[in-house]
Structure 1
Amino acid sequence: MGRLKALASRLFWLAVVLPLIAALSLLATGCGRQDEATAVTSGSRPMPVALQVTNTETVVERVPAVGTLLANESIVVRAEISGLIESISFDEGSEVEAGSVLVVLNSDEHRALVEQTQATVELARLSFARAEDMHQKSMMSRQEYDEARARLKESRAALRRNQAVLAKTRLVAPFSGSVGLRHVSPGALIQPGQDLVNLEDIDPIKVEFKLSERFAASIAVGQQVEVLVDALPGRIFIGEIYAVNPRLDPRTRAFSLRARVANADGSLRPRMFARVNLVADSRENAVTVPEEAIWPRREQPAVYRVIDGKAALTSVELGERFDGKVEVRSGLAAGETIITSGHMKIRDGSAVVDVQQPGPGKSAGGTAAERRP
């Protein structure tokens, strides 16, 4: 009988008491979790977060594009006539002024032709003077008089032609700029149209780029552009649009634009690849926040403001992004306190405390910037 009683007692503990103890333990655990969640929501246990006060700055709205640098003026110097090069009057890579003589061809033959034609003109002038006198005295027919006058005009025209050819033996710079590398040497016999040297005006320098038709409302002559080149990292060159092609590219539906950029030191060179930012708009006193302060949501991004020591989830409209910052166009004012770190630990209405000011009673709602305006 004693053994039966002991066995019945053990079965009672296993079947009734132990399940009851387990149920009570689960109940206690659930209540503890609920109390903890309630504490977080009610603000009895403020969660440590990083805070920052919003400020304002000038935000520039940029439209990016890629382009190519072009010389302001660019030609290849070529001779219009054939001849022997008598002298070259420039150093390769040097600066020359407009009107400077670059190349001189041998002009002996052309100079002789000019002198010969000058003599012909003088003879024709004397002949016409005599014919005019005789015609007035009715001693010469009208036809002979007209022929004498025509010979004078013809000889003068021949003189102008030969003088023009003589002038072509001196090749001059049509504008100021830098000469490149020459392709000929003194004494060389050149032909009409043969390349001699290139001449480039690179101050200012042009940049050509394209923008999609959807930016048509943002494009205007006089707008500012920022130009960056890979060869000069860290430098930003400021230019201004001076021409917009009214005709769009039929394949890309894009505008072609050109801007001029100051290049006094000659650091920018034609045919360089350029990154161009068209300054479409500039907004002063725009509210900006760090990118990490933005809480992404499917419907609309938001930030956590701090009002009276509690987190307030606020929907915002975002603008430009730059340098790790985001422009907030609506939903947030300057001087408000926002949460920049610790979003995963809180929810709307949670009590929070600045991690830089730990300690009991030091909640994030104690400053004027944190109070609801």
Structure 2
Amino acid sequence: MNKNTRFGIIAIAIAGMAGLGYYAYTANRAPAAAGPAPAASGAPASFPTSVEVARVTASDFVDDVAAVGTLKSNESVVLRPEVSGRVAVIGFKDGAIVAKGTVLVVLDAAIQEAELAQAKSSYDRNVELVGKKFLSQQALDSSAATLKVQEAAVQLAEAKAAKMRIKAPFAGMVGLRNVSVGDYLKDGQDLINIEDVATLRVDFKLPENYLGRVSKGQAVEVVTDALPSERFKAVLDAIDPMVDQNGRSISTRARLDNAKGKLRPGMFVRVRVLFGERKAVLMVPEQAIVTGGQPAVFKVAEGKANLVKVKLGVRRAAQVEVLEGLVEGDIVVTAGQLKLREGAAVRPVGEGAPAAAPATAAAPATNATPAGASSTAAGK
């Protein structure tokens, strides 16, 4: 290929590229210059936004608050010997119910009983001598002083002997023992626990915003996973005066009658504090609430959505109480709020949408001639 031919091919390529560029430029400018196509006569400027809606309903429900708690014994103690000794007698069976004052464990008290017997013997002898006045006045006075010392010694020996008998401080159920007859116990060593389970304490916490609503004597309902079909009644008994600054919660305690012994200390329970029954409470789905400042909802009326501020109450099963701003029967938007603005046209859909007006029946199409035309034709 000669030099002239090569230059010719390059020139043709450049001209072709220039032509394509010009065509693309003019093609893109044409729609902009022409402007938007005119709208068809009578077509609407904008279309309603489809939104899901629900009706505001009024219902009755029990006003309450739920929490989780733990059961505790009304009274609970771990018995420990105050003096060292060897176990001589065990007076209970594991898990048995015992009365107050029942002797549970007796330690070997041979030494203490001997000391008590000696002290009583010396005391009795001096009492006899003083009574018969066989001594001089000086000896009598000395014996009287000795008598007081020996009286104190008797009391000390009796106290030591009593420490060797461990009794139940209250009526309750004893636990499982870990000692046997013949074991040597040191003072302060764990011996056996005893629990008063006829009445149980229910300890639980509530958010601090319920502080003004809870009070002593309110009804409490208790449910446990161990007995899911049963509900136990309790009464709020005490409220901690200090709010927990870490969790911002209130520590509360209820008392539960457990005379049948179905429940045990340490069990996990679910608690409901009952504030009373409320009538005709207005409820809307939670998803209808528009957040970001004061709570509000989009209320649908005459095909338009209007933003209405509301005051909310309790929440229950994906529903929220409306105290102010709505009335029963109002229609609120539950989905599609992000596409709305004040006064926007909407088309409600869903279960809460108002029933569509029945369409007007169209006249049947016939080939009948209008009355005027018929009369004219007849006159001809």
Report the TM-score range of the alignment, normalised by the length of the smaller protein. Answer: 0.5 to 0.7
CA distance in 1, matches of 2:222, 2:298: 37
Q: Tell which deviates more after alignment, 322-331 or 212-221.
A: 212-221
For the structure 1 residues 236 and 330, does the alpha-carbon distance in structure 2 shift closer, same or farther, using more than 3 Å as the test?
farther
Q: What secondary structure does 1:99 align onto?
A: coil
Q: What residue number does 1:336 align with?
A: 329
- Bigger Cα displacement from structure 2, 197-206 vs 351-360: 351-360
Whether 1:170 aligns to 2:168 is no
Where does residue 90 of structure 1 map in the other structure? 92
Partner of 1:368: none
Indicate the SS of the match to 1:127.
helix
**C-alpha distance in 2 between matches for 1:188 and 1:117:** 29
Residue 15 (structure 1) aligns with = none
Instruction: Quote the residue 1:101 is aligned against.
Output: 103
Cα drift, residue 148 of structure 1: 2.4
User: Aligned AA for 1:195?
Assistant: D
**What are the equivalent positions in structure 2 for 1:130-279 lying under 5 Å apart?**
130-131=132-133, 140-141=136-137, 143-208=138-203, 217=212, 220-223=215-218, 239-246=234-241, 257-264=252-259, 265-270=261-266
**Cα separation, partners in 2 of 1:146 and 1:248, compared to 1, 3 Å:** farther
Supply the AA of the counterpart residue of 2:57.
Answer: T
Quote the offset at 1:177 in angstroms: 2.2
Distance 1:234 1:295, change over 3 A: farther
Secondary structure (helix, strand or coil) at the match of 1:84 reads strand
1:96 maps to a residue whose letter is V
2:116 aligned residue (114, 124, 132)? 114
Counterpart of 1:193 in 2: which secondary structure? Answer: coil
Report the CA distance between 1:122 and its aligned residue. Answer: 1.9
1:319 maps to amino acid: G
Q: Is residue 27 from structure 1 mapped to residue 27 from structure 2 by the alignment?
A: no
Instruction: State the one-letter code of the partner of 2:177.
Output: R
Distance in 2 (CA, whole Å) between partners of 1:212 and 1:338 is: 33
Partner of 2:4: none
Deviation at 1:174, TM superposition (A): 0.6
8 Å Cα contact 2:51-2:347 kept in structure 1: no
Q: CA deviation at 1:76?
A: 1.5
Aligned to 1:57: 60
Deviation at 1:288, TM superposition (A): 3.4
Alignment coverage as a number of residue pairs: 325
One-letter amino acid matched to 1:80: E
Separation in 2, partners of 1:48, 1:360: 15
| Residue 185 (structure 1) shift | 1.0
Unaligned runs of 5+ in 1: 1-17, 42-46, 364-373
Whether the aligned pair in 1 keeps the contact of 2:64 and 2:272 (CA below 8 Å) is no
Task: Confirm or deny: 8 A CA contact 2:56 2:284 kept in the other structure.
Answer: no
The percent of aligned pairs where both chains have the same amino acid is: 35
Alpha-carbon distance between aligned partners in 1 of 2:94 and 2:217, rounded to the nearest angstrom: 36
Checking the alignment, whether the CA contact within 8 Å between 1:128 and 1:152 is kept in structure 2 is no
Residue aligned with 1:72, SS: strand
TM score, norm. by length of structure 1:
0.66
**C-alpha displacement at 1:318, in angstroms?**
1.0
SS in structure 1 of the partner of residue 188 of structure 2:
coil
Name the SS of the counterpart of 1:27 in structure 2: coil
Q: Aligned partners of 2:70 and 2:357: how far apart in 1?
A: 61
Quote the Cα distance in structure 2 between the aligned partners of 1:260 and 1:169: 35
Task: Let me know the Cα RMSD of the aligned residues.
Answer: 4.6
Q: Which residue in the other structure is 2:278 paired with?
A: 284
Q: Tell me if the contact between 2:53 and 2:348 (Cα under 8 Å) persists in the aligned partners.
A: no
Structure 1 residue matching 2:169: 3-state secondary structure: coil
C-alpha contact (below 8 Å) 2:299/2:330 kept by paired residues: yes
SS in 2 for 1:111: helix
The amino acid of 1:165's aligned partner reads K
Distance in 2 separating the partners of 1:294 and 1:359: 20
Report which stretch shifted further, 261-270 or 156-165.
Answer: 261-270
Query: Bigger shift: 312-321 or 66-75?
Result: 66-75
Q: Deviations over 1:50-99 (max 9, x none)?
A: 654611324536486x7655432222111122222122122223332222
Contact 1:286 1:327 in 2 (8 A): no
| Cα distance change on mapping 1:284 and 1:166 into 2, 3 Å | same
Matches of 1:294 and 1:67 in 2, distance apart? 33
Cα offsets for 1:322-348 (capped at 9, x unmatched) = 212211111234x43435757669966
Are the equivalent residues in 1 in contact too, given 2:51–2:336 (CA < 8 A)?
no
Q: What are structure 2's unaligned runs of at least 5 residues?
A: 1-29, 360-380
Aligned-pair distance for 1:218? Answer: 5.1
Distance across 2 between alignment mates of 1:359 and 1:58: 29
Deviation for aligned residue 1:314: 3.9
Q: Is the 8 A contact 1:288 1:325 kept in 2?
A: no
What is the CA–CA distance in structure 2 between the aligned matches of 1:251 and 1:302, rounded to whole Å?
31
- Secondary structure at 2:166 match in 1: strand
What is the CA–CA distance in structure 2 between the aligned matches of 1:117 and 1:166, rounded to whole Å? 13
Q: 1:328 to 1:121 in 2, by over 3 A?
A: same
Question: Is the 8 Å Cα contact of residues 293 and 339 (structure 1) preserved in structure 2?
Answer: no
